């Protein structure tokens, strides 16, 4: 039964390393602002957008969809 035990250890090691990779991917995921949006401009200045809708979205670790619509530019 040595083979089965090795297999179990291998499966465990794979699941652990996969979990680490997933965690790292999640960590590196930065908020995606639409180019030229109020949030994008604020981020480039090293600030966070002060629009109430954007602040509310940021609290939930999200990006304001109202101001960051894909392909739409905020004036």
Contact residues toward Zn ion (CB under 5 A) are: 38-39, 49, 51, 53-54, 64, 66-67
Structure tokens at 30: 């930065």
C-beta of 29: minimal distance to Zn ion in Å? 19
Cβ atoms of 75 and 39 closer than 8 Å = no
C-beta of 68: minimal distance to Zn ion in Å? 7
User: How far is residue 32's CA from residue 29's CA, in Å, rounded to a whole number?
Assistant: 9
Nearer to Zn ion, 31 or 66 (CB): 66
Nearer to Zn ion, 21 or 47 (CB): 47
Nearer to Zn ion, 31 or 53 (CB): 53
DSSP classification of residue 39 = H
User: How far is residue 42's CA from residue 10's CA, in Å, rounded to a whole number?
Assistant: 47
């Amino acid at each position: 039964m040595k083979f089965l035990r090795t297999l179990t250890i291998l499966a465990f090691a794979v699941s652990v390393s996969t979990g680490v990779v997933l965690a790292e991917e999640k960590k590196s995921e930065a908020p995606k602002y639409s180019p030229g949006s109020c949030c994008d401009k604020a981020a480039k200045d090293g600030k966070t957008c002060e629009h109430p809708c954007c602040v509310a979205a940021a609290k939930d670790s999200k990006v304001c969809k109202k101001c960051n619509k894909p392909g739409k530019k905020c004036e």
